Amino acid sequence: MSADLELVADALFNNLVPDLWIDYGFKSLKPLASWYEDLLERVDFVNHWVDNGAPFVFWMNKFIYP
């Protein structure tokens, strides 16, 4: 197992977001389970926007790290 893969495995075991994922995802202080739920909500938000046009109200937390 490579060193990077071992770091990812350790983070997953400890319910932490792996550092390699943070480089490509959004920054958060949440544990992995909550981070993943928030990721799914962000994807649903953007998909709804693509399918139905821009909303009248924007959920700003989905765009930035508060």
Question: What residue numbers bound the domain in which 24 lies?
Answer: 3-62
If one counts the domains in the chain, the total is: 1
pLDDT one-digit tens code per residue, 9-66: 999 999 999 988 888 877 888 899 999 998 898 889 889 889 999 878 777 776 665 5
pLDDT of residue 23: 80
Q: Are 7 and 19 in contact (CB under 8 A)?
A: yes
pLDDT of residue 65: 59
pLDDT of residue 57: 79
In 3D space, the residue among 40, 42, 36 whose CA is nearest the CA of residue 61 turns out to be 42
pLDDT of residue 20: 87
Higher-confidence residue: 42 or 8?
8
Q: Please return the burial class of 40, using the count of CB atoms within 10 Å of its CB with bins 0-12, 13-18 and 19+.
A: exposed
